[in-house]
């Protein structure tokens, strides 16, 4: 009996386009660029396509916010090795900063968003500095505790508007700016981070994830590298938080909610960790899904959880990793 096995082979075009000759033909340029164009074009067309469904245009904003937080989680977890459940903290800190800047100090909206992202990034990095030594589940627990801590502080001391939150933030001039601002931010962060993790500092970060002792032995300050990574991640998170506060025209305790910590993790797991695009793809699936399921009332969470479980059990590698493989490789049966 002749044994047969399934063989995976890189497509010829992949082998060729990986090299210098990618510019030699239109087909090969498209092979490299098409997936990226699809994503960019798709996102840019989304508000136009949904022009007739104003409710879903709001969903796009939320989707992008979740995607950005998921990217920040994916970056920290799979490229630096810090499992950070602080999505809620980033959103809350960013939101409150922009509320203070815009509502109290009357700084215009397009300055308050970047400024609060910067301040929030510094603030969160300082908070995390003492626990950068921690690894794995210990770091996760600390980062999970911070949002709860801030919720209770604001509640108990009745500062920053207390349980009512800060109201009276400026809204965006019109809905197109609202849509396209967050889409552009998402795309810039997505491609920027993908570039960053392949730069020198990205290599060092991945090395820290694999084996921080060897990195120390190479004469690199691990805490410094980690704090840079945490700053980048919290900057991104705070940016989306500031945007969200302006979208709701309100910064309240619900910005610290656990949703912002947990849902991005689910998105990364569904989309495939370690690819950054996976976080976006995961959010593209999970956020609309959760909106669709509102139709089912209280059963929503049940169906949502079941779908999530099915995803994880059947395709635990993540959709994006699976698709990338199918795109670059084909399979055939060969004789052994």
Partner 1 sequence: MLEVTNLMVFYENMLAINNVTLTAKKGSIVGVFGSNSAGKSTLMYSISGIILDIKKKEAMKGGERITVFGKVIFDSKDITNLLPHERAKMGIVLCPERRRIFPESSVLENLKIGAYLDKRNEKKNLEYVLNIFPRLKDHLNRQGGFLSGGEQQMLAIGRALMASPSVLLLDEPLLGLSPYYQKIVVDSIKDIKATKNITVIVAEQYARPIIPVIDYGYIIENGSSVLEGTSESLLNNPDVKSAYFGV
List residues binding partner 1 (CB under 8 A): 3, 5-9, 272, 316-318, 321-322, 325, 336
Neighbour tally for 3: CB within 10 Å: 7
Nearer to partner 1 by Cβ, of 2 and 218: the residue is 2
> Nearest distance from residue 18's CB to partner 1, in Å?
17
Nearer to partner 1 by Cβ, of 164 and 316: the residue is 316
Length of the chain: 336
Rounding to the nearest 10 degrees, give the CA dihedral for residues 286, 289, 294, 295.
-170
> Nearest distance from residue 317's CB to partner 1, in Å?
3
> Nearest distance from residue 321's CB to partner 1, in Å?
5
Nearer to partner 1 by Cβ, of 152 and 332: the residue is 332
SS3 per-residue string spanning 188-244:
HHHHHHHHHCCCHHHHHHHHHHHCHHHHHHCCCCHHHHHHHHHHHHHHHHHHHHHHH
- From 311, 329, 276, select the one nearest 39 (Cα to Cα): 276
> Nearest distance from residue 7's CB to partner 1, in Å?
6
Q: Are 76 and 84 a contacting pair, CB within 8 Å?
A: yes
Nearer to partner 1 by Cβ, of 163 and 316: the residue is 316
Sign, CA dihedral 204-187-273-333, equals negative
> Nearest distance from residue 330's CB to partner 1, in Å?
13
- From 230, 237, 193, select the one nearest 65 (Cα to Cα): 237
Q: 21 CB contacts (<8 Å, ≥6 apart)?
A: 28
> Nearest distance from residue 136's CB to partner 1, in Å?
15
Nearer to partner 1 by Cβ, of 78 and 112: the residue is 78
> Nearest distance from residue 272's CB to partner 1, in Å?
8
Nearer to partner 1 by Cβ, of 237 and 318: the residue is 318
Question: Token pair for residue 146?
Answer: 């911070």
Nearer to partner 1 by Cβ, of 160 and 320: the residue is 320
Nearer to partner 1 by Cβ, of 292 and 322: the residue is 322
> Nearest distance from residue 278's CB to partner 1, in Å?
11
Burial 30-60 (b: 16+ CB within 10 A, else e): ebeeeeeeebeeebeebbeebeeeeebbbbb
């Amino acid at each position: 009996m002749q044994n047969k096995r399934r063989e995976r082979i890189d497509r010829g075009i992949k082998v060729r386009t990986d090299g210098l000759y990618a510019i030699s033909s239109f087909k090969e340029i498209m092979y490299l660029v098409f997936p990226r164009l699809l994503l960019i074009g798709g996102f840019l067309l989304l508000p136009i396509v949904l022009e007739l469904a104003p409710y879903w245009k709001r969903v796009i904003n939320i989707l992008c916010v979740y995607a950005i937080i998921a990217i920040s989680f994916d970056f920290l977890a799979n490229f630096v090795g810090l499992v950070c459940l602080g999505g809620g903290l980033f959103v809350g800190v960013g939101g409150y900063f922009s509320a203070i800047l815009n509502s109290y100090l009357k700084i215009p909206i397009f300055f308050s968003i970047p400024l609060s992202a910067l301040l929030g990034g510094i603030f969160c990095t300082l908070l995390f500095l003492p626990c950068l030594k921690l690894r794995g589940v210990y770091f996760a627990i600390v980062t999970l505790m911070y949002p709860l801590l801030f919720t209770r502080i604001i509640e108990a001391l009745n500062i920053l508007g207390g349980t009512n939150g800060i109201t009276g933030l400026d809204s965006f001039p019109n809905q197109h700016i609202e849509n396209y601002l967050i889409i552009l931010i998402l795309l810039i962060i997505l491609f920027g981070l993908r570039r960053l993790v392949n730069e020198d500092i990205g290599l060092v970060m991945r090395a820290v994830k694999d084996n921080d002792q060897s990195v120390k032995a190479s004469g690199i300050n691990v805490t410094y590298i980690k704090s840079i990574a945490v700053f980048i991640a919290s900057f991104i998170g705070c940016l989306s938080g500031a945007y969200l506060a302006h979208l709701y025209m309100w910064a309240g305790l619900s910005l610290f909610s656990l949703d912002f910590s947990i849902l991005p993790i689910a998105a990364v797991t569904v989309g495939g960790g370690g690819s950054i695009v996976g976080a976006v793809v995961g959010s593209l699936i999970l956020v609309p899904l959760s909106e669709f399921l509102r139709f089912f009332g209280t059963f929503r969470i049940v169906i949502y959880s079941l779908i999530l479980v099915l995803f994880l059990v059947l395709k635990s590698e993540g959709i994006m990793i699976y698709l990338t493989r199918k795109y670059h490789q084909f399979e055939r049966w060969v004789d052994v």
